[in-house]
Amino acid sequence: MNTHSPLPAPGAPLQHYVSTAPIDLQSVETMTPEQSKVFQASQLRLMWWKLRMHRLAVISGIFLAALYFGILICEFLAPYNLHTRNMDYIYSPPQRVHLFHNGQFVGPFVYGRQMTLDMDTLKRNYIEKKDDVQRIRFFCKGDSYRFWGLIEGDRHFVCPAVNGQLFLAGTDRLGRDVLSRIIYGARISLTIGLVGISFSFLLGIVIGGLAGYHGGIFDLIVQRIIEVLQSIPSIPLWLALAAIMPITWSPILIYFGITVILGLLDWTGLARAVRSKLLALREEDYVLAAQLMGAKSSRIIGRHLIPGFMSHLIATATISIPGMILGETALSFLGLGLRAPITSWGILLTEARSVSVIAFYPWLLLPMLPVILVILAFNFLGDGLRDAADPYK
C-alpha cells in the first residue's frame, strides 16, 4: 500500500505546513552535562585533563614535588648532620635493613659491624655481628643542626640506635654518611636549576621578544650572537667562565656565579623560540589594535604576545632545568664549580674520580642515581606538558 502523498499536478500551488508550537531558541544549543563540562571548561582545566592522561608525566611531577618539598626540611630528613664524622667507620659499605631476627619480627633494624684491616691491600673490611641488633628509630633525637642556618634543632625523621650506626648508603673517606650528604646536596643541585632557568628566561624572553617583534638590524645582531654562542663547545666555555671567578670568593658568591654562567649559556635556544613565535603573532589583528590604541612595545609583548604561548614556555622550562643541573654537576665534578663547605651532587661525585676508589668503594657513585632520576623526571614531565599545551589535538 502506498502511503506517500500524491505529487501535485504541474502548475498547482505547493502546500505548506506551519507548526504552531512555541519556538525554543535554546534548543539548538542544548548539551548534555558531559558536553557542557567539556565545552565550558577553561584552558587550564583542559590542560590538566590532558596532562592527567599522561601517567608517566604525573608520576614524574609527584616525584619532583616530593624532592623539592624534601629540600625544605633536609636537616630533618637526614639521619646525620652534614659534617658528622664517624672515624671508626671510614669507607663503610651500605648496611642492609632487616625485619626478622632468628625468625622473630623485630622491626626495621641493622646489624652492628666490626672493622678489620687487610694488610696486603690496606682495605677496610666490615663484618656484621649477628648478635648486635640495632633497631632503627623514627622521629627521634640525633645530631644537632641549625635549620636553614637559623634555628637550633636535633629532631630527625630516622636515627640510628643509641650508640649504633646507620649507614644506608655507606660512608666516605672521612666517615661521613653518604645518604645524609645526598639529601643535603639536593638543596643546592635542585635550586640551582630553578634560579638558573629564571635568569635564562629573563634574557631569552626579553631579547627574543624584542628581536621577534621589531626585527630589523636588532634581530640581525641578536641572531649572529646566538649563532656564535651556540657554535662554541659547552665544556670549554664552562671551564673558561668558571676560571674567571676569583678563588677568594665565598661559597655563596660561587653559587650565584655558577648560576649566572648557566643562565648566560642557556638563553639562546629560548630566545630563538620566542622570536619565531612573535614573528607569527605580531601580524594578528589584536596586535594591530593595541598599536593603534598607542600601547608600547613592552606592553604588547608582555600583555598580549607572551601569554599566547606561555604553555610552550612552561614546557621549555621543564626541559631546560635538567641541563642546568647537569651543568652544575659537570663543573663541580671537574673541580671548577662549587667548592666545600657547600655540598651538591657534583661535589659528592668528586669522591669517585679515582678508578681505584670506584673499584673498592662503588657506593660513592650513588649520588649519580638522584641526578639520573631527576633528569628523567623533568624530561617526562616536559613531554606531558608539551602535549597538554595543545589540548585540542
In sequence order, the β-bridge partners of residue 114 are 127
CB 234 within 8 A of CB 264: no
Q: What is residue 124's three-state secondary structure?
A: strand
pLDDT band at 176 (very low <50, low <70, confident <90, very high): very high
Q: How many other CB atoms are found less than 10 A from the CB of residue 196? A: 26
Span 194-226, pLDDT tens digits:
888 888 888 888 888 888 888 788 889 988 988
Span 243-283, pLDDT tens digits:
777 777 777 777 777 788 777 777 888 888 888 888 878 77
Tell me which DSSP letter residue 177 carries: B
More confident residue, 35 or 90: 90
Span 103-150, pLDDT tens digits:
889 889 999 888 888 777 777 888 888 888 999 999 998 889 988 888
CB 142 within 8 A of CB 154: yes
For residue 238, give Cα distances in angstroms to 245, 283, 343, 354: 11, 39, 20, 23
Of the candidate ranges 146-155, 315-324, 333-342, 350-359, the one whose mean pLDDT is the lowest: 333-342
In sequence order, the β-bridge partners of residue 171 are 177
More confident residue, 347 or 40: 347
What pLDDT does 66 receive? 94
Element containing residue 38 per DSSP (H, E)? helix 33-39
| Mean of all residue pLDDT scores within the chain | 82
Share of the chain above pLDDT 70, in %: 87
What pLDDT does 39 receive? 67
Q: Does the bond joining 341 to the residue before it have cis omega, within 30 degrees of 0?
A: yes
pLDDT band at 28 (very low <50, low <70, confident <90, very high): low
The secondary structure of 206-259 as a DSSP string is: HHHHHHHHH-HHHHHHHHHHHHHHHHS-HHHHHHHHHHHS-TTS-HHHHHHHHH
For CA atoms 383, 385, 388, 389, give the dihedral sign.
negative
What amino acid is encoded at 296 in this protein? K
Q: How many other CB atoms are found less than 10 A from the CB of residue 163? A: 7
- Which ranges of 131-215 does DSSP label H, i.e. alpha helix? 178-214
Whether 74 shows a pLDDT value over 70: the answer reads yes
Dist. CA 289–CA 279, nearest whole Å:
17
CB 263 within 8 A of CB 203: yes
- Residue 157: phi and psi, rounded to 5, are -70, -40
pTM score? 0.79
What pLDDT does 17 receive? 65
CB 182 within 8 A of CB 100: no
Place of cell 632520576: 373
